[in-house]
Amino acid sequence: MNAAVQFVHEQLTAKKTYPKFKAGDNVTVNYKIIEGGKERIQGFRGDVLKIQGTGATATFTVRKISDGVGVERVFPFFSPNVESVQLNKVGKVRRAKLFYLRERSGKSARIKEKRM
């Protein structure tokens, strides 16, 4: 019974393919914004703080600095409003959740780029 429910659930949720990214990576999330009757796509570029959840409820949090103020946004992986995710930089971090970046500003809030 459980396998049947899971099968139907997988059929209903359209699989989106994103590049493999993890916490510490710099990504641009292009998402749809509906203003009145018009629809447009806006980019949100920042560092991934965390990835959480599995399956249809999985989300990732992106943080950027806008006019000296930290802005965090949570995106569901399978949201119809998330158009695409572009991987800009691969970060070199040693943990899965980067909450320590919230207390930091300026140069100490930077993440080193991983050399390929």
Could you give all domains of the chain from N- to C-terminal order, each with its CATH number? 3-103 (2.30.30.790)
Amino acid symbol at 46: G
Q: Alpha helices, DSSP H only, in the chain?
A: 2-12
- Position 97 scores a pLDDT of 96
pTM over 0.85: no
- Position 15 scores a pLDDT of 67
- Position 101 scores a pLDDT of 93
- Position 106 scores a pLDDT of 86
Beta strands of the chain (E only): which ranges? Answer: 26-35, 38-52, 59-66, 69-76, 82-89
Could you report the per-residue pLDDT of 52-108, keeping only the tens digit for each? 999 889 999 999 999 989 999 999 998 889 999 999 999 999 999 999 999 988 899
Could you report the per-residue pLDDT of 23-62, keeping only the tens digit for each? 999 999 999 999 999 999 999 999 999 999 998 899 999 9
CA–CA separation, 45 vs 30, rounded Å?
Answer: 9
- Position 14 scores a pLDDT of 61
Burial (CB < 10 A; 0-12, 13-18, 19+), residue 28, is middle
Q: Calculate the average pLDDT of the chain.
A: 89
**Who contacts 72 (Cβ-Cβ below 8 Å, separation ≥6)?**
49, 61, 62, 63, 102
- Position 12 scores a pLDDT of 66
